[in-house]
Chains A and B, each alone.
Chain A
Amino acid sequence: MEYAEILHRCFRCGYCKLPSDYTDLNCPTYLKFRFETYSPGGRMWLLRAWLNDDIKTSPRLAEIFFSCANCGNCIEHCVFPEFKADLLNAFVAGKEELVNEGAVPPSVRDYLQAMSLHGNPYKLPEAERGSWAEGLGLEPYTDQEYLYFVGCAGAFDERGQKMARAVAGLLKDWGVSFGILGAEERCDGNEVKSLGEVGLFDKLARENIQVLQNAGVEKIITLSPHGYHAIKNEYPGLGGDFQVYHYSQIMGSLMEKEKEFKNDKPLRVTFHDPCYLGRHNWEYQAPRNVLNALPGVTFTEMDRTKVNALCCGGGGGNFYTDVIGSGVDSSARIRVREAAEVEAEVLAVACPKCAKMLEDAIKAEDLDEKLRVMDLAEIVQTRLG
């Protein structure tokens, strides 16, 4: 197995479970399950034991690996500089082995089957991929400056569609030259890759690269940080070199130009860093630039932010597979409690998966009266009047 040579070097000291100031548990699965096995160090030791045949393949082992949210907290806080960068790579390699053995949790199996058969986890016809844009008057991509890429959640999920439309609307209003692929777009494959189905990822990515190259795309704006990560960091290895931006980065630069904000009604906002924008790609400032530029908005940080942000629990495919599951100790519920603690009215997000996870958590925590989730573009739109 790739990365097997680093497994024994994990001391299992547990820095990976925590944020940098040690406030609280910051690994979504350890937070939820609490057994040492569900911590990053536990996974390192179990994977080694499994490869050494000290433990056997089992549904429990599969649950332990496929519940990992790939949030990157472990990489950020591991104290061993020589191998920390490969922790998630090792876990993904382990999942790849389990996938090859067919030893995956049922929900992961279903997800991968749907991806394989339908090209999306919603089991909807790919022809409907562009329906999110209906009525917006968006142009198909021809030779515009940017391609706007929305991904599966933006294309099919109700909450994601709302967000995809808000971002598109804003880009259009602000005169950004962009087009969309509509039904031609394919899943970016990020979740497939994180679940260890490398072959399928390869297929999806190559299809996307082909479509993008055929269309002559050079610059891409993504809705989802997950897609941003895959296209920016994984596609070049498969021959797909594009200039990739998350929409918050484009918005951040557009905010510098004078805008006529008609609504400056006071609004208390906090921001939830998406893992694939923050810890995986070190972009912390762009979303904050957007929020800080809005009149009437009082921006407050939660206790855990940026490198220390608590993942919503939707990464690593969990948004679709929900191996982590719900409950009061689920990270999404803890996250919305944190947002409520700083007395925010709006929990700003920049990822369709976070949006959905956190909205559900607000309902579960009965915080609907006090707190609502809004994506950056939605907030900007309300300020424009």
Chain B
Amino acid sequence: MKCQYMDFDLETAREERFRIIRGEDSRVLEECVTCYACEEYCPYNNHPFYMIVDRQEEKEVWPVPHPLTNQQLIVMAPRGRIVPQKVQSPVINMCSFPMLVGSIRGKLFEGASTIVGTDIFCNIMWLHFAKNSVIRERVPQMIDNIWNFYLKDSGVDEVICYHDECYGTYTHLAPAFGINVPFKSVHLFEYLTQRLDELKNEIRPINEKVAYQRPCSNRLIPETQHWVDDIFERIGVDRVDREYDRENALCCAGTIQAMQRDELADDVQRRNLDDMEATGAKYCVFNCPACFTTLSYQVTERGMTPILMSDLCHLALGE
């Protein structure tokens, strides 16, 4: 029983799982913090987490108060203001993080095009809100937008996903939900690794300890995890050994706060930050902008520097 937030013995866990499959009420629907981890843990690719979310929606077990969900549904809705734009490879998909477009700079991203906005928002975040229906409705539209407004006429057939969530959406969730994706998605980390190899002679090893905050969206795509180590090796940082990393990573707790479960969020954040701090890490490295926003203040308070993976690479290149 690997779930880090619900305490079941194996037998009860199995029983709860069957209840979910049978469409019955289950404690899990109430208590799940929606960290995605069971998607990674399931050895049979049975998508236990997607089923939890489907059942939550069917049974109207809303993890987050309605106004929070509904406001986000409006804020993140496609605006329909997208216009066709010629792009050239590499095309960096910045999802709905316009504030991070400034990170696409320097040698790492020379010649890159960026695409950004709510009209290409990956929409995977509705997994936290028991809104698979929104995912089913909006994701095909987003894929269509990326393809038809940017890639098709530009003769480009792949995008670099800046955020794990987008890569997870197009390579893991879409197939699981039966949604066709006409373009290839490349994970940012794979792209960074390649670029760092090309810029090998310009790298000045950082020679610092770093703690990595693995985001929940990476649970959908654990096969990309090794790129983190590959990048760290190339830029000369030491990924500290700590309890809450890799398969045992803890959620940043932003979602848990949205669920109004403050005490649990406090506990999760405290354990995670204690664990990082004890290693003497200088940097806490993020890839997920949401985790960065949620934790960066407290990371700083603990004497570490919060930094996005791409910015850490810029640092190694002296930029």
Q: Do chains A and B touch in the complex (CB under 8 A)?
A: no
